[in-house]
Amino acid sequence: MPSRINIKNKITFSFIALLLMMSATAIIAYLLVQQVERKLYRVEIIDNFLNLTLELRRYEKNYFLYHLEEDYLDNVQYLDRLDETVRKNNDVFTASPSEVEADQVDKVLYSYRKNMSQLHSLILVLGTETQTTEREHLLEAIRESGKKLTLIAEQMAGKERESIQNLLQTSWSVLFSTTGTVIIISFLGAMLLREKIVNSLKLLEGYTRKVAHGEMVAPPEQRAEEEIRSLFQAFTRMNNELHLRQRQMVQSEKLASLGTLLAGVAHELNNPLSNISTSAQILSEEIDNPDREFHHTLVKQIEEQTDKARDIVRTLLEFSRTGKFKKQELNLNDVVSSAIRLLRSEIPAEMAIELDIPADLMVWVDKQRMQQVFLNLIKNAIDACGNHGKIWISARDFLSEGNKEIEILVSDSGPGIPPEDQKKIFDPFYTSKDVGKGSGLGLFIVHDIIESHGGAITVDSRVDEGTTFIIWLPGEAPTP
């Protein structure tokens, strides 16, 4: 199933997802910090309350010991301040997690104040020396309330500190787990993305390798990411364009050789035409000759020469046509001979071309294309040998693993091809000839044609000794 989301969007989505997760983490962290801040503020208030309580109790103790008026006043002052603290921070004391009821603080403070003022009045009236049970009661109650206040403050502070500890613990685990999750998700995402991109690129690589080997395969774009798919499309367009250009070049190379052939054909046609003309002339002069046999011979000659001329024209027509690839059973001698005939005008007078092909050797080939093969090979041999030289064309059939095969050798006595050039001669546009003389397409086309017949071609060449092109063709039996 090809994914419909392209790489760009995938990256964008991953980024957005990560961003959202990180924002969520930041918000959670912010809220936690805020809560800790609030708790710290409460702890401060409670601490303050505790300190005030301790001061209150210090003056309470002094007053109990020395009964000084100023100690009492100080005690009352601290009591006021405690009251004020509770009043101002009602929320802290009511929403406190302490086990002590909130209004208990109020109550304790209230009874402390009441008892203290009673004690004060009692001491003012009775003096410091008189010990009464009422006074003892008051002292006891005040001490009790003071202790309670300290206990409440201590308990509240303890609880708050504990809850801060818990909050910090929570913050740690939240931060730790979200950071871990973000890291794991980004790692997995990156791996997945990498895998997808790398896989797509591998597909492209495999495809280009196939194309480089000359295979015309459809690009496997379905399985690739969108970006890579458009790369595939661009690549396919380029490849098709190149194939088209190549075909055009091959065609123009053919047209170029056709040009040189035309001269040869004109020359070739001259022979049968002048023979026809001579025969016709004799016939018109001897029209009154009663020898019917003689007339018959002349007409026969005209017929033969006309056939020859027609053959030449037909060969030329066949050659110029870019017909469909069509294999047929042909006599190899005929194919080679017609190629040589087309080249007649280019073959120097002193050059010898020897054929050593069994008269009945049949091949299963596309006629026009096979002619092109011999034409290109012979032309190269002529170019290599110069005016003097020898060309042999031989062929044989043999059995290879039970299948009939045909081996054709095209040899020349030319200067040979240096080993380092032998690798390049089948490449398109490789030529050692001057500009305008060689296109470098001749052997490329030969190679292409032989391969399209399911055969193979190699070269065996030694500098200063000569060159042999070896062609193998499958000896297919024509289906009846």
Ligand X SMILES: Nc1ncnc2c1ncn2[C@@H]1O[C@H](COP(=O)(O)OP(=O)(O)O)[C@@H](O)[C@H]1O
* Residues of this chain that bind Mg ion (CB under 5 A): 380, 442
Nearer Cβ to ligand X, position 88 or 433?
433
Contact between 384 and ligand X per CB under 6 A: yes
> Burial level of 315, CB count in 10 A (0-12/13-18/19+)?
buried
Least gap, CB of 419 to ligand X (angstroms) = 12
Least gap, CB of 272 to ligand X (angstroms) = 31
Contact between 373 and ligand X per CB under 6 A: no
Q: Which does 432 bind (CB under 5 to 8 A by kind): Mg ion, ligand X, none?
A: ligand X
In terms of DSSP bridges, do strands 352-356 and 390-400 run parallel, antiparallel, or are they unpaired? Answer: parallel
Nearer Cβ to ligand X, position 75 or 376?
376
Contact between 417 and ligand X per CB under 6 A: yes
Nearer Cβ to ligand X, position 220 or 415?
415
Nearer Cβ to Mg ion, position 138 or 425?
425
SS3 125: helix
| Binding residue for ligand X, selected from 232, 316, 467, 476, defined by CB under 6 A | 467
SS3 421: helix
Q: Which does 431 bind (CB under 5 to 8 A by kind): ligand X, Mg ion, none?
A: ligand X
> Burial level of 354, CB count in 10 A (0-12/13-18/19+)?
exposed
Determine the Cα–Cα distance for residues 348 and 382; give it in Å rounded to an integer: 8
Determine the Cα–Cα distance for residues 296 and 99; give it in Å rounded to an integer: 144
| Binding residue for ligand X, selected from 425, 449, 457, 473, defined by CB under 6 A | 425
Least gap, CB of 251 to ligand X (angstroms) = 15
Least gap, CB of 353 to Mg ion (angstroms) = 17
Which is nearest to 428 in space by CA: 450, 447, 414, 415? 447
In terms of DSSP bridges, do strands 403-412 and 466-474 run parallel, antiparallel, or are they unpaired? Answer: antiparallel
SS3 430: coil
Nearer Cβ to ligand X, position 360 or 434?
434
Contact between 87 and ligand X per CB under 6 A: no
For residue 458, give the H/E element and its range: strand 456-462
| Binding residue for ligand X, selected from 243, 247, 388, 433, defined by CB under 6 A | 433
Contact between 450 and ligand X per CB under 6 A: no
Determine the Cα–Cα distance for residues 50 and 84; give it in Å rounded to an integer: 14
Determine the Cα–Cα distance for residues 441 and 426; give it in Å rounded to an integer: 8
Nearer Cβ to ligand X, position 120 or 447?
447
Q: Which does 467 bind (CB under 5 to 8 A by kind): ligand X, Mg ion, none?
A: ligand X
Q: Which does 430 bind (CB under 5 to 8 A by kind): Mg ion, ligand X, none?
A: ligand X
Determine the Cα–Cα distance for residues 437 and 290; give it in Å rounded to an integer: 58
Task: List the structure tokens of 109.
Answer: 């403070």
Least gap, CB of 385 to Mg ion (angstroms) = 13
| Beta-carbon contacts of residue 218 (< 8 Å; ≥ 6 apart) | none
What are the residues binding ligand X (CB under 6 A)? 376, 380-381, 384, 412, 414, 417, 425, 430-433, 438-444, 467
